[in-house]
Amino acid sequence: MDSESKPPITKNDKLHIVMFPWLAFGHMIPFLELSKLIAQKGHRVTFVSTPQNIDRLPKLPPNLSPHITLVKIPLPHVEKLPENAEATIDLPYDKVKYLKMAYDQLEQPIAQLLQETSPDWVIYDFAPYWLGPIAARLGISSAYFSIFIAASLCFLGSAQVLMGMRGNSRTRPEDFTVPPKWVPFESTVAFRLFEINRIFDDITGDDENIPATYRFGAAIDGCDVVAVRSSYEFEPEWLKLLQEIYQKPVIPVGLLPPMPPDHDSVDDTKEWRTIKEWLDKQPKGSVVYVAFGSEAKPSQDELTEIALGLEQTGFPFFWALRKKQGLADTEAVELPDGFEERTKGRGIVCTSWAPQLEILSHDSVGGFFTHSGWSSVVEAIQFEKPLILLSFLADTGLIARVLEEKKMGYAVPRDDRDGSFTSDSVAESVRLVMVEEGGKIYRDKVREARLFVDRDIQDKYVNGLLDYFKTHNQKA
């Protein structure tokens, strides 16, 4: 599988692959990373999204831009969807369903694009549940690419269960707080009650939208093969089980660690220089970096406890804080009175975009206080930063369970019913993971996990995916 031992690619071996992610940056960025790795092998990629999202993507490396075509398809207007909202980052959680409705109206333009470009493969996300049958009708091979880990997918169950075609006894939030009957080994991977309550409406659906579970089920059912952002080094038992559950090929594509930042590049922004100057002054491993992803916004109570907990630690901190979810969000959260004054010089609260990769790669950062989003976890592993976990939405609770099982992260103790926690528990968790003897296991385990993001291993997975694509191409 070593790429260097392979014969050079010929024109006939080259694939044309269309990428169609859901309109969330936690989805678009992994799709783009996979696109870049495919393009590096000499294949052609057409990456499709809406105009604003294409414009907000990271710049493509000059050597890859000839191989990747970025295609903008306008997002249709839908009632109740705020103007200029084209990604989940632009919206409060309760308005994301209108973004899905607008996305569903892209069915016709996407079908037309596939018909006109006639690619070898289309790789799509969970949201366009309608795309598999369209590809099949056009004689195009299709792959559902899951940015969710195999453990989360196994927990959700088969396509038939997800689509409500086979007896799923899970009808109440409480049913999701225990491992399902189809997991044959001992596991703690399940939602806590407060985690499932926050997303239950999306799982069950309402009168306005199609449930996320149905989308997942139909996306899996309609594809030829499932690709997963995971590896056998990270979760072998879950990947094996997933293939049994789905009864179709499951191909891990590796963890897709982003390319390490080039601090001397021309993209060295004024913002990063200011942040770097501050980080350079802090002792090695002393800073706690705090960020909860592009979609999670803590409630006012949660924000207050996080802030007071960070203050209590006495550690320097850099906090990338989202006070609002887009312009339509009318409920901005605020820091406690006097907090910024009391922590001046010791802590920085950044309410604009923060260069997470650059920050995590800095030697002064000794811990990452995160929502457990998979992209953030992969970046933490890449730079060997131990994890303090505070889950919010989607499958972050399930990822947190996996990390806890592996002793790769420590979750802030919370009330199971409402998810509440105290500033004391925040301070104790941060201290434990970053400096205390009892937390040494978390620091050691994340260093050992560095193997999971090894470049040679990543290369092997991409080669495996492309080999499968070449030998199972409907047009071959």
226 membership: H or E segment, kind and range: strand 225-228
Report pLDDT digits (tens) over 58-94: 999 999 999 999 999 999 999 999 989 999 989 888 8
In tens, the pLDDT along 293-302 reads 877 778 899 9
The Cα-based distances of 133 to 103, 107, 115, 180, 332 in angstroms read 17, 11, 13, 29, 42
Partners of residue 145 on adjacent β-strands: 227
pTM of the model: 0.92
Question: Which one has a higher pLDDT value, 186 or 330?
Answer: 186
- Residue 1 predicted with pLDDT over 50: no
Mean pLDDT of 191-202: 89
Q: How confident is the model at residue 207 (pLDDT cuts 50, 70, 90)?
A: low
Tokens of 234: 């990270």
pLDDT score of 390: 96
Torsion angles phi and psi, residue 187, rounded to 5: -160, 150
Q: What is the pLDDT of residue 261?
A: 63
pLDDT over threshold 80, residue 144 = yes
Q: Which long-range contacts (CB under 8 A, 24 or more apart) does 64-69 make?
A: 64/36, 64/39, 64/40, 67/39, 67/42, 67/43, 68/35, 68/36, 68/39, 68/44, 69/44, 69/45
Q: For 210, what's the count of Cα atoms within 13 Å in the CB-facing half-sphere? A: 21
What are the tokens at 4? Answer: 């260097």
Whether pLDDT at 111 is above 60: yes
Buried b (16+ CB within 10 A) or exposed e, 171-205: eebeebbebbeebeeebebbbbbbbbbbbeebbeb
Q: How far apart are CA 108 and CA 134, in angstroms?
A: 10
CA distance 107 to 97: 16
Give the model's confidence band at 352: pLDDT under 50 very low, under 70 low, under 90 confident, else very high.
Answer: confident
Assess whether pLDDT exceeds 70 at residue 127.
yes
Q: What percent of the chain has pLDDT over 90?
A: 77
**Residue-level pLDDT at 5:** 39
Residue 146 predicted with pLDDT over 90: yes
Q: Which domains does the chain have, with CATH numbers?
A: 16-258+454-472 (3.40.50.2000), 270-452 (3.40.50.2000)
Would strands 16-20 and 347-350 be described as parallel, antiparallel, or unpaired?
A: unpaired
**What's the mean pLDDT when you consider all of the chain?**
91
* Lookup result for tokens 């030998």: 471
Contact 146, 126 (CB under 8 A): yes
Secondary structure class of 345 (helix, strand, coil): coil
CA nearest to 18, candidates 46, 50, 60, 37: 46
Question: If you search the block for the tokens 């080094």, which residue do you land on?
Answer: 233
Q: How far apart are CA 131 and CA 122, in angstroms?
A: 9
Could you report the per-residue pLDDT of 33-62, keeping only the tens digit for each? 999 999 999 999 999 999 999 999 999 999
